[in-house]
Chains A and B, each alone.
Chain A
């Protein structure tokens, strides 16, 4: 019987051998896939196991992880946003299956798994302390952000505000309305979050969309600044007092419909100075200038302000464009910010900032500094030039003209006592019968600028009234500028 017993032993050895091979296969070869499987709840637990870093703006805490009071829960740290919806489009949210905006783009730094935090993790391991994530400090200026949120909310409309530091590109405020509360979206319970998400998604206006960087609009008359820039760049001898033809209705080639001024009004006596055309925001002179310069010159000038370039702040900014080349009549309309001309509020803030900063557009950025849990600096923002839009000379001329628009023209509501403010209003036609969007771009002070702003208030204007854009959007910009300047 020993022969068969030995063979039975071999069979047993084979059984154990197969089991061992199989556990090796599952725990080594398949392990990565199994670990990453979305249905594996252990990922979710790991997500809430570390004390995630804070997101701050100055001394204001925008997002922080707090220990779960329910100690029996598998979720150790919970994410909360003390400021709620005011900063929602900047912080984003930290949901079980996704993290957005800064929470998403800086996830590995915030949760401590980034390679740059290797040394910190090593020290924590030696001291047998739990590793914490890095803290992210933003360029946002809470006073400006709150002022922007408050002023835009008061209009009761949807819209967006972007404020930049023209000299560095630091984003001082970025508001998009409607907004949402990130707190209910950052709970660990998947179904609870899904429900909250669906509820927010259902609300009118798309609260999850960050209009400041991911929605483009026809820029309307604010784009005349870009057209004027191209006009000045084209010939150095041109200036504010250069006379341009300004008919009541500009005849467009190959069409019987002409381009009128806003409300069909006349623009001076038919020939006006460039600065007057900008102050009153006549359409016909800029339509004519656009047609004279041609599509390429206008397109090139827009791109010099940064439109069409890849831009991450670190969130990706949608591209702005003046549209494809069409006929001459289309160029006339493009020159006054209509036709297929589509700009994001961020892009228009960059236009204002470039003009304020001697023609150099600084690259906008949101993260000022990243430091580990002990405060050691890991990364610090280094302002960099993004594009050169115009010469210093041209920027000076544009600044003067824009200050004149605020002092004498359509943008009187943006005035701040004791500060030279430059600005330009816009009223962008959307669809027939719907109220146009109100725009405003500005900077202050004119010399040694500290802030550049772009504001859009959706449906904030009245059709046929160029000044209406200024009336709605300019006070919002004024509030933001005043907050930055401490006035």
Chain B
């Protein structure tokens, strides 16, 4: 493992003041956006602005204090960036709720779940002092992840909505367990691959330019593939299926450094998707709709048509370069604008400018995660941080690409923005894990003091 012997990628620094200032900036931007919505809709600053602003500000201040105490060396950019997208998501949900057309939109619920998310973030940081403890839970995490994935199929608690069976009802709450499963599975993949990567990487023979693995080593890939296709077929959840399989293949590649795994993975997925498209009409429909959404055949179809996607594109087109301004567009015309299609709602009112900024913020979060992976000192941390960052990037790509018609639409949550408790919870924990790992990666190694008389110990 050559990474361990390498010098740290960057000079670690705590940057507490900058961290706090950026957090205040993020909360400030959110409050201004909130005031903007109120002014545009009712001509006055909304009465709840202080409640929301101070609520969000107080929550992230707690998170900051926990972070400063329990992960002082953590990357100072991650928390402010996440606060910004979470807050903007809240504002857009509030704006859609005010428009009154989408009955499901509720900024209060989202603020509640944001609070729970931030509490879970803090709890994770306090309880999980050393993330390597997770490595011991590899198979437990794997089993938990699988159970969570299967849960919606169980008769009593499983719950079908919008044509996909991906929800469970527990004690009055509707949860989307796949979001939590993605965390558990990332832990499992990281632990499993760290243990097996040598055999996966080295055994096998070379064919042309590609190192092919041994047939018996294909097992884990095939099992994951079968589970992914299972999700696709049984839960009609294209997004989660694509997310899980893509994350697994990428982590396999990072661990083994073998391109052949990527190729095998791609072939398996494309093959699986093709066959599914032939057999299951809803998969094929998604593809046809993607190719020609403005066709009236698809536009006027009641189920599985292109109405929603076209509304999203109409919103984006109307927004143009500068957007209509918060509160001045009609994002409520897009069905589910507060959840899966929140990115399109942002595109209508904030315009191309706003979307580019949002994508940059997301890109930065992912980049900070990957940087943590590079700087990490043990293979499990590298693999887990890299895997979680990629999961985030891959999820954003799938859903944003879907609503902007870059790729066929598959339903997924836009991390931190879409309304939904389980997703907020899971993603805040994901961020807590990244923060924990960045803390240990950036913490200066204990220095051996050889000559106390001559060496001055300096720490920032």
Contacts and interface: CB of A to CB of B under 8 A. Distances in A.
Interface of A: 1-9, 11-13, 15-16, 18-20, 22-24, 26-28, 30-35, 37, 39-42, 45, 72, 74
Given A12-B390, A22-B406, A27 B321 contact: yes
Contact of B317 (A3, A5, A24, A31): A31
Given A4-B253, A16-B393, 4 more contacts: A12-B367, A23-B404, A27-B319, A30-B317
Contact of B393 (A3, A12, A28): A12
A101 B343 CA distance: 42
Contacts of A13: 363
Interface of B: 1-3, 6, 100, 250, 253-255, 257, 294, 299, 310, 313-321, 329-330, 333, 347, 351-352, 355-356, 359, 362-363, 366-367, 370, 373-374, 379, 382-383, 386, 389-390, 393-394, 396-397, 400-401, 404-406
B366 A26 contact: no
A35 B320 contact: yes
Given A23-B404, A27-B352, A28-B320, A1 B370 contact: no
Contact of B257 (A4, A31, A40, A42): A4
Contacts of A6: 374
10 contacts: A1-B257, A16-B359, A16-B393, A18-B397, A19-B359, A23-B316, A23-B359, A26-B313, A33-B317, A35-B314
Contacts of B405: 22, 26
A2 B6 contact: yes
A262 to B, nearest CB: 59
A358 B386 CA distance: 93
A131 to B, nearest CB: 15
Contacts of B310: 37, 39
Q: Which 7 A-B pairs have the closest CB atoms?
A: A34-B317, A40-B314, A27-B352, A22-B406, A12-B393, A15-B397, A31-B317
Nearest to A43: B318
A33 B313 CA distance: 10
Contact of A19 (B2, B320, B374, B400): B400
B3 A2 contact: yes
A27 to B, nearest CB: 4
A57 B96 CA distance: 43
A42 B382 contact: no
B355 A27 contact: yes
A190 B296 CA distance: 18
Contacts of A37: 294, 310, 314, 317
Contact of A5 (B299, B318, B319, B382): B382
A19 B397 CA distance: 7
Contacts of B2: 2
A191 to B, nearest CB: 14
B333 to A, nearest CB: 6
B356 A4 contact: no
A23 B360 CA distance: 13
A93 to B, nearest CB: 24
A19 B396 contact: yes
